[in-house]
Structure 1
Amino acid sequence: MDKLFSLIESKQKGMGSISIFEKGEEMYQNSFGYASIEENIKAINKTKYRIGSISKTFTAAIIMSLIENGKLSLTAPLADFFPEIKNSSNITIAHLLKHRSGIFNFTSSEDYPSWMEQSISKEELVKRIVANGSSFEPNEKFEYSNSNYVLLSFIAEKIENKEYEEIIKETICKPCSLVNTYYGSDIIVKNNEAKSYTNTSDWKLATETDMSVPVGAGAIVSNPTELNQFLNCLFDYKIVSEQAVNSMIKIEDGYGMGIFQAPFYDKKAYGHNGGIDGFQSNAFYFPEEKVSVAYTSNGVVMPMNDILIGALSIYFGKEYALPEFNPPLDLKPEELDTYLGIYSSPDFPLKITISKEKNKLIGQATGQSSFPLEAYEPSKFKFDQAGLKMEFKPDDNKMILRQGGGEFELKKE
């Protein structure tokens, strides 16, 4: 395990911290890379990270606690709290928890990048959610939306007449003995809080979302050790009852209530992933094995999924070979010319523009940031952070795109 993370660090393929628990005890912990590159501060076991959407599991547990205490019900309509939202009389608390409300995901709005780093009032945030409207009728299908969990946070505040920050402390942190888990604010490195970074050719400081924006959908700060403590506390029924936890892990269209299910060989784990700015995180619990794994990163190059597969393979004694980070092929600028152009397909929702900067190939999907492509074989390129591979076939004017198990053939326009 140490070799895996030493390799990732030495090859600059990631930064972060990992913790593995079994039967409530920490069996492995490692921190690598930097909490702050600018200040030359290395990551340590006390380094804290923004955990993004893992916050949703906290929020779901808070809502289930309110229900168990008779202060709320799964069938309560959203109209009881926010009647101004479209379809609110037909949207229930359960729909919000399960991402089945139809409420548009405000972080997908075109103007979101222009205001995400600014402080916003609760009233203004609700106005933005109202203005975005609905994507589909309530309970028609599952569609992930941060709007759902922002609204759940505000509902909890209205019921308890307390700030979400206080509700987290009382409902989660106290029963689980969490001292380094809290509602985030501006990043303070002296408080053992990590900055986050992106890496195209070198580490660059990422954006810093103002934490008034994600609220209970993504504003919590923690570390892997305490995320494992939280999961063990939840699955030991110290926050809510066994019946409530079973409701949370009842999966419909791939999602429960603030919880995903993840397979690993013949095993099943329950938890959530998260991403905010340059931070990515994962925290999952295997009920049968009583094993949990939490990984928080403030700089991602090697895909997080690949890192977790490696760590879990080592832990559970599965066959695993350490990754080989071979240097990219060194191509001359003129060798890239044959790949340049715009590629599209009726089966793929975005157009991909391929350009070059000196001897590096650059990809850019419609409406998204550009990304560097690394040549690993002649005519084959990859972007590890997104788990993306492209194989060019210049003679046929096409490109094969592979990502997340999917394969698409795009033709040059």
Structure 2
Amino acid sequence: MTRRFIAIVFVITISTFTSNAQDFSRLNQFLDSLETHDKFMGNVILRKNGETVYSRSLGYKDFDASIKLDKETRFRVGSISKMFTTSLIFKAVEEGKLHLDRKLSDFFPEIKNADKITMSMLLQHRSGIHNFTNDSLYQSYFTSPQTRQRMVQIIADAGSDFEPGSKGEYSNSNFVLLTFILEEIYNDSYLNLVKERITEPLQLKNTYVGKAPLKQEAKSYTFENGWKEEKITDMSIPVGAGAIVSTTEDLGKFIEGLFSGKIISKESLAMMQEIREGYGRGMFQFPYYERKAYGHNGGIDGFSSMLGYFPEEKLTICYLSNGTNYNNNSLILAVLDTYFGKGIELPSFQTADLKTEDLDKYLGVYSSEQIPLKITFVKDDTSLIAKPAGQPDTVLEARGSHVFEFVQAGATMIFDPEKGEMTLKQGGSSILFKREGN
């Protein structure tokens, strides 16, 4: 399980609408099924014109103490924090304290290529600065407090992955540095800047820069034969890249305030929305049919999150999860399909009952001519485990004759033992793997 604070762009492309009827009974059944089968814990909200039209809480804030989640529960929101940091950067630009073309070398000349990297490149992930959370070293210190000096040194030591401006590639390092730049130009802490310039003006009473977890905050979990509590990232590490704590309602008010001009100007917002190679400035674009939402998503520890806003419809969707054993993109689709009057299918979590010897026919190393990836399949009693090269081990769920799923990634693996083949289906793609030495 990765504990990095990350962002994954959801691409939502499916068929056409029907009516605009808003009957949420089917969605409630969908979410009931997720909760019953330990697939999702968290809060979900839909807001239209600044008013909540649907919300649900599923699962536990504290699983071991049997304390249920409610709408007031606060979650670590991960990379949604980058929207707060970007808003502060644009406020600094509007106040004349910063320019988007200002060079990083004015603040951190020790960073490789700092004289070529602009504030705009940092915001749009075009700096080339290596993402420090991708390194194995990160696992050795992520639970311990780190100073600003140490974080800058870690980022500087990691170097550069590509020439600044030549392409876009996600890096949390960009927003850690932007946090420190904000603190320097304002001579104030990031915590105070968020409070004074965003949360207090918008009256976001449950949103703040996290420190040690408070009793109002959810604990986070991964599912390994039951919900297991995750280790906690020290918030001195992600700062403006992932340290915000909030609720679904507060995040709805935040993004609505952002798009209505209550935080930055319309001109600044338009620059946030400029998408280049998948990246805006502190913002992503989420397509849904012909419609487009703007926002961010992310994950930290066992938390995952998504916040999106459809400007034309003035519609906000947000989920904050403290435990997921499911492909959350399917959850987003179920919520939006319901709102826009499209029928949804209830998920099926029936599993095949296999004996340990039944798994022997699937074991081995599989490779593909279509992609440069090898997957080794091993077993642990009655569980089949996929070990993709360079990725975490994954326990698969048996779905039927020769069919296994990795639900969180939306991946299905179909074996043909007689041919020694496995077909991986994910995101509309179908990739054939063959067992080596077969």
User: Is TM (by shorter chain) over 0.5?
Assistant: yes
Q: Aligned letter for 1:309? A: L
Q: Aligned letter for 1:65? A: K
Q: 1:349 to 1:220 in 2, by over 3 A?
A: farther
Q: Aligned letter for 2:140? A: S
CA–CA distance in 2 between the matches of 1:61 and 1:349?
A: 39
Secondary structure of the corresponding residue to residue 176 of structure 1: coil
Q: Aligned letter for 2:430? A: E
| Per-residue deviation, residues 340-387 of structure 1 (Å, max 9, x unmatched) | 112223543442221111111011222332221111121110010122
The yes-or-no answer on 1:59 pairing with 2:85 is yes
Q: Aligned letter for 2:217? A: E
Mapping of residues 152-171 of structure 1, within 5 Å: 152-171=178-197
Secondary structure of the corresponding residue to residue 12 of structure 1: coil
Of 323, 344, 361, which aligns to 2:384? 361
- The equivalent residue for 1:74 is 100
- The equivalent residue for 2:223 is 199
- The equivalent residue for 1:322 is 346
Query: Which runs of 5 or more structure 2 residues have no equivalent in the other structure?
Result: 1-26
Of 419, 423, 430, which aligns to 1:396? 419
Q: Which aligned segments of 4 or more residues in structure 1 are displaced greater than 4 angstroms?
A: none
- The equivalent residue for 1:186 is 212
Percent identical pairs in the alignment equals: 47
Moved more, 146-155 or 3-12: 3-12
CA–CA distance in 1 between the matches of 2:83 and 2:431?
A: 34
Secondary structure of the corresponding residue to residue 175 of structure 1: coil
Moved more, 3-12 or 160-169: 3-12
- The equivalent residue for 1:380 is 403
CA–CA distance in 1 between the matches of 2:232 and 2:364?
A: 33
- The equivalent residue for 2:17 is none
- The equivalent residue for 2:12 is none
Q: Aligned letter for 2:226? A: D
Mapping of residues 176-325 of structure 1, within 5 Å: 176-188=202-214, 190=215, 192-325=216-349
Moved more, 144-153 or 198-207: 198-207
Deviation at residue 59 of structure 1 after TM alignment: 0.7
CA–CA distance in 2 between the matches of 1:84 and 1:406?
A: 43
Aligned residues of 1:64 and 1:244 also touching (Cα < 8 A): yes
CA–CA distance in 2 between the matches of 1:171 and 1:364?
A: 46
| Per-residue deviation, residues 78-98 of structure 1 (Å, max 9, x unmatched) | 000000000000000000000
| Per-residue deviation, residues 70-116 of structure 1 (Å, max 9, x unmatched) | 00011000000000000000000000000000000000012111211
| Per-residue deviation, residues 138-184 of structure 1 (Å, max 9, x unmatched) | 01101000001111111101111111111111121022110101111
CA–CA distance in 1 between the matches of 2:398 and 2:28?
A: 29
Report the RMSD for the aligned CA atoms in angstroms: 1.3
Query: Which runs of 5 or more structure 1 residues have no equivalent in the other structure?
Result: none
Q: Aligned letter for 2:328? A: M
Calculate the TM-score normalised by the size of structure 1.
0.97
Aligned residues of 1:200 and 1:371 also touching (Cα < 8 A): no
Moved more, 6-15 or 342-351: 342-351
CA–CA distance in 1 between the matches of 2:144 and 2:435?
A: 40
Calculate the TM-score normalised by the size of structure 2.
0.91
Moved more, 242-251 or 6-15: 6-15
Structure scoring higher RCO (CA < 8 A, sep ≥ 6) equals: 2
Aligned residues of 1:24 and 1:232 also touching (Cα < 8 A): yes
Secondary structure of the corresponding residue to residue 111 of structure 1: helix
